[in-house]
């Protein structure tokens, strides 16, 4: 969620993928056939995966994985709650509330201990970690999280962390690039005519082969030539040009982030507010530029919480080798990535791994992820190495 390039790596690639299928269905019978076959293959693979996971759970592999990795912290990552069809648009970015409610019930019924991020960082640094604890995090600060997720978590008595990007907190506008991608996902048009009076973007765009190039061009142009108010107007103009009703498309604040007043209500519901940069980008060419992103972020958020603003989440999960040291130098004490995995004692607190839950995961896929099934071979080997048998074998 930013005006410039950083989100491209994360959101852009996924949307481009969607668009290939979207236009294939509409415009090309041959491609449509291939796309249908591909979707069928994907559905078959998903069914097979779920069936195998059910079998593994039945035979106790989930319990074994949880027991062998109970000395690791799981940090789960969410973004926004889906209003209308956003979960279909981007299931990794928006989750239906009923799906999230199902996950929280699963965590409660499974006796998973939910701990704060503060506590997690403390035990990762100095141990001990016991009981396979879980941290729940939300990225970006979408309005829907304050409106729907926070009250739900509060009902369950579950603590969580909300990483907030603050540029749009101070501006009542839709998050431009996400709303833009949504319009292109939503449109049934096969071409777009732009007449903005700027040679950089004016022209007719063929949408039958995807929209990666046109969206990149429009975002680049808008971030350098338009004010945030002009970008909002441009979004509405684009919606009309793409045959999408702008009032319906942007209704209920579905592409808004929380206001300061919204954020101030969240700590009382057990949601800890933390850092995600001001403009959803993390400069890597200048320490001072990076510090400015953090300090601008802290400046906006300082009236929303009494807790220190010291935990950070890399925008779009992107970071460079220099960032852990730079973040430490400006007073940050932890940083989360989008790299999948668990965190044990001694893990780098500035490169914390997370589990990105998504709307199109079934409960069994989510349960497999938090059980540590993926880490089971490594955990098994690690535990075996601790036994006398392996030490004895190593002598020969």
Q: Using the rule CB under 5 A, give the single segment among 35-43, 309-317, 372-380, 383-391 that binds Zn ion.
A: 309-317
Instruction: Report how far residue 136's alpha carbon sits from residue 355's, in angstroms, rounded to the nearest whole number.
Output: 10
Min. distance of Cβ 209 from Zn ion in angstroms? 29
Residue nearer to Zn ion on the CB measure, 282 or 379: 282
Q: Per the structure block, which two tokens stand in for 384?
A: 């075996």
CB of 344 to Zn ion, least distance (A): 25
293 touches Zn ion (CB under 5 A): no
Q: Do the beta carbons of residue 297 and residue 278 sit within 8 Å?
A: yes
Q: Is 229 exposed, middle or buried (0-12, 13-18, 19+ CB in 10 A)?
A: exposed
Cα–Cα nearest to 18, from 180, 187, 177, 210: 210
Question: How crowded is the C-beta side of 31, counted as CA atoms within 13 Å?
Answer: 13
Radius of gyration (Cα) for the chain, nearest Å? 22
Cβ 165 to Zn ion, closest distance in Å? 6
Q: Tell me the C-alpha distance between 1 and 167, whole Å.
A: 10
Q: What is the DSSP string of 240-255?
A: HHTT--HHHHTGGGTT
| Nearest distance in Å: CB 318, Zn ion | 10
Q: What is the DSSP letter of 275?
A: E
Cβ 317 to Zn ion, closest distance in Å?
Answer: 8
User: Nearest Cα to 335, choosing from 87, 163, 126, 78?
Assistant: 163
Burial class (CB in 10 A: 0-12, 13-18, 19+), 47: exposed
* CA pair distance 46, 40, nearest whole angstrom: 10
Specify the residue, 118 or 336, whose C-beta has the smaller distance to Zn ion: 336
Count of CB atoms situated within 10 Å of the CB of 202? 12
Residue in 173, 223, 225 with CA at minimum distance from that of residue 199: 225
Cβ nearer to Zn ion, comparing 73 with 178 = 178
Give the interface segment with Zn ion, choosing from 27-35, 93-101, 126-134, 314-322 (CB under 5 A). 314-322
Provide, rounded to whole angstroms, the least separation between the CB of residue 87 and Zn ion: 17
Shortest Å, Cβ 385 to Zn ion: 38
- Please, what is the minimum distance in Å from the beta carbon of residue 354 to Zn ion? 12
- Measured between alpha carbons, how far is 49 from 150 in angstroms, rounded to an integer? 32
Tokens of 223: 């971030």
Q: Which is nearer to Zn ion, 327 or 373 (CB)?
A: 327
Shortest approach of Zn ion to residue 142 CB, angstroms? 10
Per CB under 5 A, contacts with Zn ion among 140-199 are 140
Chain residue whose CB lies nearest Zn ion: 139
Within 112-141, the residues that bind Zn ion by CB under 5 A are 139-140
Q: Are 185 and 18 in contact (CB under 8 A)?
A: yes
Nearest distance from residue 6's CB to Zn ion, in Å? Answer: 9
Segment lying near Zn ion (by CB under 5 A), choices 172-180, 244-252, 260-268, 310-318: 310-318
Q: Which is nearer to Zn ion, 24 or 86 (CB)?
A: 86
Helical spans, DSSP H, in the chain: 11-27, 29-58, 61-68, 86-89, 97-109, 117-126, 143-144, 150-156, 176-186, 212-225, 228-241, 246-249, 260-264, 287-301, 323-329, 363-371, 376-385, 388-394
Nearest CB to Zn ion, comparing residues 139 and 293: 139
Q: At its nearest, how many Å lie between Zn ion and the CB of residue 9? A: 11
Q: Which is nearer to Zn ion, 134 or 178 (CB)?
A: 178
Structure tokens at 348: 């780098």
Question: Nearer Cβ to Zn ion, position 32 or 259?
Answer: 259
CB of 80 or CB of 133, closer to Zn ion: 80
Per rule CB under 5 A, count of chain residues that contact Zn ion: 3
Q: Which is nearer to Zn ion, 140 or 359 (CB)?
A: 140
Cβ distance to Zn ion smaller for residue 87 or 164: 164
Residues engaged in binding Zn ion (CB under 5 A): 139-140, 315
């Amino acid at each position: 969620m930013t005006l410039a390039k950083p989100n491209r790596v994360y959101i852009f690639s996924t949307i481009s993928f969607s668009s290939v299928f979207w236009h294939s269905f509409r415009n090309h019978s041959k491609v449509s056939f291939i796309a249908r076959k591909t979707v069928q293959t994907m559905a078959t693979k998903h069914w097979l995966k779920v069936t195998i996971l059910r079998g593994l759970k039945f035979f106790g592999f989930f319990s074994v994985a949880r027991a062998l990795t109970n000395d690791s912290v799981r940090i789960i990552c969410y973004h926004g709650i889906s209003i209308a069809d956003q979960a279909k648009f981007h299931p990794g970015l928006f989750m239906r509330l009923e799906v999230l409610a199902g996950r929280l019930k699963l965590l409660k019924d499974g006796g998973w201990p939910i701990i704060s991020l503060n506590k997690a960082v403390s035990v990762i640094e100095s141990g001990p970690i016991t009981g396979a604890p879980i941290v729940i995090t939300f990225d970006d600060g979408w309005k829907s999280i304050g409106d729907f997720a926070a009250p739900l978590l509060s009902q369950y008595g579950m603590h969580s962390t909300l990483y907030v990007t603050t540029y749009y907190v101070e501006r009542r506008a839709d998050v431009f690039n996400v709303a833009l991608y949504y319009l292109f996902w939503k449109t049934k048009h096969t071409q777009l005519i732009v007449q903005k009076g700027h040679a950089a973007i004016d022209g007719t765009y063929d949408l039958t082969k995807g929209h990666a190039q046109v969206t990149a061009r429009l975002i680049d142009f808008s971030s350098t030539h338009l004010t945030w108010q002009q970008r909002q107007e441009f979004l509405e103009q684009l919606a009309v040009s793409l045959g999408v009703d702008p009032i319906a498309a942007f209704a209920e604040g579905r592409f808004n982030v929380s206001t300061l007043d919204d954020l101030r209500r969240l700590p009382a519901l057990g949601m800890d507010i933390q850092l995600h940069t001001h403009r959803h980008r993390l400069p890597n060419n200048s320490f001072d530029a990076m510090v400015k992103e953090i300090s601008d972020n802290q400046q906006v958020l300082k009236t929303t919480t009494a807790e220190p603003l010291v935990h950070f989440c890399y925008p779009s999960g992107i970071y460079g080798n220099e960032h852990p040291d730079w973040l430490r130098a400006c007073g940050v004490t932890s940083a989360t990535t989008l790299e999948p995995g668990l965190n044990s004692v001694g893990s780098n607190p500035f490169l914390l791994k997370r589990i990105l839950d998504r709307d199109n995961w079934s409960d069994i896929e989510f349960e497999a992820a938090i059980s540590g099934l993926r880490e089971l071979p490594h955990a098994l080997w690690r535990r075996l190495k601790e036994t006398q048998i392996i030490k004895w074998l190593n002598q020969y």
